[in-house]
Amino acid sequence: MKPTLRTGLLALALGISGAAAHADITVYTAGPAGLAKALAADFTKESGIKVNLFQATTGKVMARLKAEQANPQADIVISASWATATSFADQGLLLPYTSPNAATVPDFLKSDSYVAEGVAALAIAWNPKSGTNKPTDWADLAKPEYKSLVTMPDPAQSGSAFELVAGLDAAGHDDLFPALAANGMLVAGANKAALTPVLQGAKAAVFGAVDYIAMGAKAKGESIDVVFPTSGTVVAPRPMMILKSTKQADEAKKFIDFVLSDKGQEDVAKVYLMPARTDVEALRPTITELKLLPQSSDAYAKRGEILADFSKSFGH
């Protein structure tokens, strides 16, 4: 009896340890770092699956993925640009998956191989202490009172800034950037690099600020207002996608499920993004409350051309 009992206990112990064992997953994500860490920690607490994070700008995430093409390391990519997901899908790089938690995500924020984590919008972030009049539209920032007082994220580094440039281009506002360049607008790296001098009072406004970042700064007591331009803006859904090269497909699917769960979407809302699910409360204006510019359907295909025209406006 004793050998049988020992054998049975050993088998039970091995079964338990095997059931508890999970492969780690690796997530590459473009901002915000606080949200990425919260989602990773909450997911690990719930599932026992460890998340290895690489958080950077969209440009750096894309560069790392390209460098690792021969030996892919990421299981999941979360981008600040919707065009990333559509391009990856067209190239056959994504694993098809529809989460059961995506039922209340609007159709335009999901496909059979990617889904929005949350949604940002592009806006003007204005410092009320700057001594300038509060702007109401994009063109206001080309007025003389804003001479050399405006910053903008570089659309070559910021996926959301690229979405705005593409949207304004599609709407026929092709004269706006030469006017802003002539007025001394500074194109300053990624989103944080553009916002920091405005928060510090060295500049007056950000053209194309990611709204949730500025809202988060205001909630912490910073002197900043978020203005949604009267002529319209663009939204920047943050797509999540599982790479077809993953060796941890089951664990990756569980992560997508978690981000779209009640808890995951509450984490998204806490950083002032719009939740992807319509049945989770937002802490800021949602798509139905914003005037939107027409979205360019071929923005990513024309990325090089759009960025070249933008650079020419600034004499580069």
Write a three-state SS string for 85-120: HHHHHHCCCECCCCCHHHCCCCHHHECCCEEEEEEE
Q: Identify the helix (H) or strand (E) that includes residue 137.
A: none
Helix %, strand %, coil % for the chain, to 5? Answer: 45, 20, 40
Can you tell me the distance from the alpha carbon of 125 to that of 251, in angstroms, rounded to the nearest whole number?
39
Q: Which residues are annotated as a binding site for Fe cation?
A: 212
Q: φ and ψ at 24, to 5 degrees?
A: -70, 160
Contact call for residues 58 and 107 (beta carbons, < 8 A): no
Q: Which residues are annotated as a binding site?
A: 212
Can you tell me the distance from the alpha carbon of 19 to that of 149, in angstroms, rounded to the nearest whole number?
59
